[in-house]
């Protein structure tokens, strides 16, 4: 569905010059929209990033803070993004620009965030794709060797680049050619399958001896582990996983019609996304503790735990492994095409570049970024403040850009737009009962901006202890520059 949206949009733009409101109502059904927004939200963020981030931030306390952020900030910001998008009927940059030219930079910040995420996301997408095949080479058959297989694979200078290239080509193909139906059909089968395999892994993991320690790790908060960076990581994870803070949900909202219930939609997408993340955590940690692995193992977590668990099952386990990575690849694809589209749409709408050229330019830049990101995992390439390229892109986006993007959106909706207008939008001209409107509005106007500002400040401060403060400050400087030069954007 994600893709259907893009192509309708493109076709409409050709016929209508992109501004005809009635014709922007493209969601065939309510389910279509939910699937598209959930398709963008559910991806590597939930299944790859959430477990290892929770693991390296101490477990329970991180998960609890993450959940509080999802409920209070994530849901509210998503609702605000939908409302801003539907009100303007324009994609991210246009939505800001049409209200106030000085706000254009907030939209452009989102485009930049999307570009930076695409500087490392396809690398991990490539790993997932590679693992579909690696399962069959027998490389993952011996449980004890699996951690080494992963380590050797990602630090190899050539292999991961090839898979990343194939993964990126799939994105380009989908976004530029319009083979929406194929991948959509695949998604419809593979998403439930992914969910089913995660449940299977969870059950399998929970029945292993020593598994309960993993459940405890995930759900028993130990607040002595909480630092400013842990709290900022939880906020960043919430934004990343829900695809917030960079305009993707503004763009989705711009295709909704007035009869849609935004409150319910935001609630459903938030719930689905969070359920998948928690399930992924439950699938990983019990098994990890049972196997005696380190919870802070880092980005390799799913790529080690899942094959190890299935390798212990023998032959049929291999099939499950392959299916898991296939489903993970498709989940990643439905997210990354939404990122590629955000960037291409900017070039098409704001820079008047033709679509094929826009996609080609975006993909070329991404390829270069991804090559550096991938090589950095083998210790090759430039470093900044001692941090490699992969980590720089990751840090800049989920710790700084998305959070500040969310902050901007909240300030924009709370202070720049008119309260009555927002109320009309959120309640679909009063037809949707939203009893908590005043509470939500107070969150958006006061609580969320203040909370994000405090969390970002303390996070950056404690980031210096972790040696990543320099990169975070660089992120803030970039945002400052964008704002300063917003007239040129
Ligand atoms: N939410 C996606 C994931 O969890 C990643 C993403 C972030 C997609 C921001 C679009 C925008 O994998």
Q: Is 44 in the pocket of ligand 1 (CB under 6 A)?
A: yes
**272 alpha carbon to ligand 1 midpoint, in Å?**
14
Cβ 414 vs Cβ 452: under 8 Å: no
Atom of ligand 1 nearest to the CA of 43: 12
Pairing of strands 383-384, 387-388: antiparallel
- Say whether pLDDT at 360 is over 70: yes
- Say whether pLDDT at 250 is over 50: yes
Model pTM score: 0.92
pLDDT band at 27 (very low <50, low <70, confident <90, very high): low
Q: Is 243 in the pocket of ligand 1 (CB under 6 A)?
A: yes
Q: How open is the CA angle 296-301-302, to the nearest 5 degrees? A: 155
- Say whether pLDDT at 407 is over 90: yes
Q: What Cα–Cα distance (Å) separates residue 373 from each residue in 161, 364, 472, 475?
A: 10, 14, 18, 17
**142 alpha carbon to ligand 1 midpoint, in Å?**
33
Q: How far apart are CA 385 and CA 221, in angstroms?
A: 32
Q: What is the mean pLDDT of residues 165-178?
A: 85
At a CB cut-off of 8 Å and minimum separation 6, what does 188 contact? none
pLDDT in tens, 198-238: 999 999 899 999 999 999 999 999 999 899 999 999 999 99
Collapsed DSSP state (helix, strand, coil) of residue 383: strand
Q: Which two tokens stand for residue 287?
A: 């098994």
pLDDT band at 345 (very low <50, low <70, confident <90, very high): confident
Q: Is 26 in the pocket of ligand 1 (CB under 6 A)?
A: no
* pLDDT given at position 33: 73
Q: Is 205 in the pocket of ligand 1 (CB under 6 A)?
A: no
Mean pLDDT across the chain, nearest whole number?
88
- Say whether pLDDT at 29 is over 80: no
Percent of the chain at pLDDT exceeding 90: 67
57 — phi, psi (to 5°)? -105, 20
Atom of ligand 1 nearest to the CA of 335: 8
Q: Is 53 in the pocket of ligand 1 (CB under 6 A)?
A: no
* pLDDT given at position 191: 79
Atom of ligand 1 nearest to the CA of 248: 11
DSSP symbols for 239-287 = HHHTT-SSSHHHHHHTT--TTS-HHHHHHHHHHHHHHHHHHHHHHHHHH
* pLDDT given at position 183: 53
Q: What Cα–Cα distance (Å) separates residue 348 from each residue in 94, 191, 246, 352?
A: 12, 31, 17, 5
- Say whether pLDDT at 279 is over 80: yes
Q: Is 88 in the pocket of ligand 1 (CB under 6 A)?
A: no
Q: What is the mean pLDDT of residues 134-147?
A: 87
Q: Is 41 in the pocket of ligand 1 (CB under 6 A)?
A: yes
Strand boundaries in 373-438, DSSP class E: 383-384, 387-388
384 — phi, psi (to 5°)? -130, 125
Q: Is 241 in the pocket of ligand 1 (CB under 6 A)?
A: yes
């Amino acid at each position: 569905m994600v893709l259907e949206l893009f192509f309708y949009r493109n076709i409409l733009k050709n016929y209508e010059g992109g501004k005809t409101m009635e014709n922007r109502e493209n969601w065939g059904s309510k389910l279509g929209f939910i699937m598209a927004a959930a398709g963008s939200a559910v991806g590597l963020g939930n299944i790859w990033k959430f477990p290892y981030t929770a693991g390296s931030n101490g477990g329970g306390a991180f998960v609890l803070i993450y959940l509080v952020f999802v409920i209070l900030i994530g849901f509210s910001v998503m609702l605000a993004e939908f409302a801003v998008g539907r009100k303007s009927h324009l994609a991210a940059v246009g939505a800001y620009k049409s209200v106030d030219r000085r706000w254009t930079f907030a939209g452009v910040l989102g485009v930049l965030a999307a570009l930076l995420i695409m500087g490392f996301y396809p690398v991990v997408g490539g790993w997932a794709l590679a693992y579909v095949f690696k399962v069959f080479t027998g490389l993952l058959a011996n449980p004890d060797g699996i951690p080494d297989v992963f380590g050797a694979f990602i630090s190899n200078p050539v292999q991961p680049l090839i898979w990343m290239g194939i993964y990126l080509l799939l994105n380009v193909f989908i976004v530029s050619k319009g083979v929406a139906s194929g991948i959509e059909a695949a998604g419809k089968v593979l998403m439930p399958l992914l969910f089913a395999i995660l449940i299977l892994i969870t059950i399998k993991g929970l029945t292993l001896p020593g598994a309960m320690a993993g459940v405890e790790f995930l759900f028993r908060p130990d607040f002595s582990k909480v630092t400013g960076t842990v709290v900022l990581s939880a906020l960043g994870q919430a934004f990343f996983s829900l695809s917030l803070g960079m305009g993707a949900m503004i763009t989705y909202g711009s295709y909704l019609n007035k009869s849609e219930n935004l409150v319910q939609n935001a609630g459903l997408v938030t719930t689905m996304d969070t359920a998948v993340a928690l399930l992924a955590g439950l699938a990983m940690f019990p098994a990890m503790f049972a196997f005696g692995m380190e919870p802070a193992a880092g980005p390799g977590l799913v790529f080690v735990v899942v094959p190890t668990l299935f390798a212990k099952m023998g032959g049929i386990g291999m099939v499950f492994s392959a299916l898991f990575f296939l489903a993970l690849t498709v989940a990643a694809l439905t997210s990354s095409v939404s990122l590629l589209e955000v960037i291409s749409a900017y070039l098409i709408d704001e820079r008047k570049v033709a679509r094929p050229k826009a996609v080609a330019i975006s993909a070329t830049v991404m390829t270069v970024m991804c090559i550096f990101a991938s090589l950095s995992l083998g210790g090759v390439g430039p470093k900044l403040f001692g941090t490699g390229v992969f980590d720089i892109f990751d840090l800049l986006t989920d710790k700084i850009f998305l959070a500040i993007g969310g902050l901007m959106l909240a300030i924009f909706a709370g202070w720049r737009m008119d309260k009555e207008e927002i109320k009309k939008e959120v309640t679909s001209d009063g037809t949707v009962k939203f009893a908590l409107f005043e509470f939500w509005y107070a969150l958006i106007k006061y609580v969320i901006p203040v909370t994000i500002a405090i969390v970002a400040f303390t996070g950056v401060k404690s980031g210096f202890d972790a040696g990543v403060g320099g990169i975070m400050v660089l992120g803030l400087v970039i945002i400052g520059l964008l704002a300063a030069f917003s007239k040129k954007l």
